[in-house]
Chain A
Amino acid sequence: MEGLLQVPFLTALLAGAVTAGIPLLLAGLGEQMSEKAGVLNVGIEGMMLGGAYAGFLTAISSGSIWLGFLAGACGGALVAVPMVILCVQRGLNQIVIGIGLTLGLEGLTAILHHVQFSRTYPRLARVETLPIPLLSDIPILGPALFDRHPFVYLAFLLVPALAILYRGTNFGLWLRAAGDRPAALDVTGIDVIATRTVAVIFTGLMAGLGGAFLANVGAGIFVPFMTHGDGFIGVVLAMLARGRAASVLAGAMIFGGCLSLTTAFQIAGVNVPTDVIQMLPFATVMVVLIVFGRQASLPVALGLPYVRGER
């Protein structure tokens, strides 16, 4: 136990929190845009899996991690397309379609894995990091935050970028109006369906990137069901974040920390059954929901399809 508060433990914990938190961050940010616009996107778990598979396959066969990310984003967006067509355009139930997409992608990626990788289990090499001069020398924080693959920095930069988009542009207003009272947006001549479509595709892109990061950087390998509910945690994060990108970041790091405790405990040589530790993030979800659940303020039209002229 005495190893717990020492530098190697804390460094591993923090570094692990970031590694585990990045997919949550991306999923949460993506989901946030959908929810703002009034689409509850529980297909996001499937979008992450799609991104993880496509990203890994591309990275392993091209040898380029960046091509892998690109493919991951495209994979996630591809899974978002049926969500757009069925829920945004046709007005079908968002939860039903979302769960369907998640289950479908779980099956599909498991089969593809079985056919393609299950004999060889190919692995990607550990990614190169880009240490940031000076900052990366800070003890504990340095290695965890500032000696990472450039993708990590980009992911963090997304937070202020989205905050500016939401607060400082008309598109941010459109998103809120689409989720609050879509008819009010429609009558100003802005297409509600198009706005929601952009939001859902963005969710797909972000979820796909998150999945690709999970496979290519976090694990270096693709295995079935590897997202382990990260997408659903992203849904919870978005719901609790009250529309603020920074809150998604905070939440993602807390949950990422829970996930990384597993590895950190092993490094510190603490013997806790892994089952218990793996339960931790979900227990945290429940605690967080009990404590903060009341504060969630969801868009009024969340989950409701918009049909022009309907009363």
Chain B
Amino acid sequence: MSKITTKNLNLWYGSFHALKDVNLSFYEKKITAIIGPSGCGKSTLLRVFNRMNDLVEGVKVEGDVLIDNEPICGTGVCDLVKLRKKVGMVFQRPNPFPLSVYENIVFGLRVHDLAVKKDYDKIVYESLNSVLLWDDLKDRLRKSALSLSLEQKQRLCIARTIAVKPDIVLMDEPCSALDPQATARIEELMRELKNSYTIVIVTHNMQQAARVSEDTGFMLLGELIEFARTEDIFTRPQDKRTEDYITGRYG
């Protein structure tokens, strides 16, 4: 079933046309990868889904974005809090708060008043467990999250995101700060998580897209050039530009 759909999505940063007539459908409980050269609008597209672009002054969005077949922000004001609870985000740089491991994870719970205090421990356990950090960190819950390794930090950020029980997890180059082994383990984790979440991952790394995703979209200069099953994209691209990119003939 289609989880996220866009119809004639256009976005401008001031006068710069960053997304051009994007039409796509991301499917539920699958991993969808978005690839494309630097500056083609991958992050911009991702940030449309949780409206993080709203932070940028002078942004203009046109067209429809549907999640579960409902416009994310119908006409007029929209409930960003509700939207962002449903659509979580993991960033490129692991960015835990300068708080303890425990406090990082319950941050979202406090913000949404989601659970009573006595359930916090349970949710911390579940969240850390699902990112395979529990055994490493169970004795260090009160230690600063800044003392963790990069990979642990990124896992913690994923745990922090899923602690509020989103439906969709957006990941913007989540492994680009990590070494190959850590990258492989995070990819493993993504495959695990897709049983519960719809995942959209932006990546520069075509092997990564090929390894983890079911569907792949290729973007170029703000346009979605091709969107298909990952193996089709990589073995039988329909568009010349996609082929040039995946064979490395494009910048």
Q: Are A and B interaction partners?
A: no
Which B residues are closer than 8 A to A by beta carbons? none
